[in-house]
Amino acid sequence: MSADGDAALVQRVRAAGEAFAALVEGLPEGAFRHAPGPDEWSVAELAGHAAEFPVTFAAQCARLAASPGISLGRQLDDPGRLAAVRQMEGADPAEAGRRLRAATATAADTLAAIPATGWDATGTRVVDGETIAVRTVVQRFIAGHLEGHLEQARNAAKLT
């Protein structure tokens, strides 16, 4: 992919973060806290996760770009991942939106600083041993993951 394609990926992260923040900021408290099912996250929990994982994975991408061949990723029971889900417990929707916006901007800035040659660097995922390039991590585990949770938050916000 060209540097323009990499810039488009960074913009995709920014756009998803902005859309998520705007959604959260516009919610009433009840919709923000509502969990649609016993095993489903509320928008507040989704926002906590979405304010953490892009920064975590962008930092991992920057390390991988600088040191090809390293391991990256984490297990589903990673303490940082689990704690992030609860990080918005005390936040109102406006604060959660600000935190989401800041976090995704930080992630996007980190990704934008990766040199063009770094986007092709590969490492090994800790969860399954897959060899994966920085670009693919950004596509699947930052931008795609963020967009997926945005859609999940839209659905969770619908009180029935």
pLDDT tens series, the chain, 160 aa: 556 669 999 999 999 999 999 999 999 999 999 999 999 999 999 999 999 999 999 999 999 999 999 999 865 666 665 666 677 888 999 999 999 999 999 999 999 999 999 999 999 998 888 999 999 999 999 999 999 999 999 999 885 4
pTM: 0.90
Backbone angles phi and psi of 79, in degrees to 5: -55, -35
Residue 9: per-residue pLDDT = 96
Task: State how far the Cα of 13 lies from the Cα of 33, in Å rounded to an integer.
Answer: 25
Task: State how far the Cα of 134 lies from the Cα of 4, in Å rounded to an integer.
Answer: 15
According to DSSP, the β-strands at 122-125 and 131-133 are antiparallel
Assess if CATH 1.20.120.450 describes domain 3-156. Answer: yes
Residue 2: per-residue pLDDT = 53
Which residue in 52, 54, 47 sits closest to 112, CA to CA? 54
103 by DSSP, 3-state: which? helix
Residue 158: per-residue pLDDT = 82
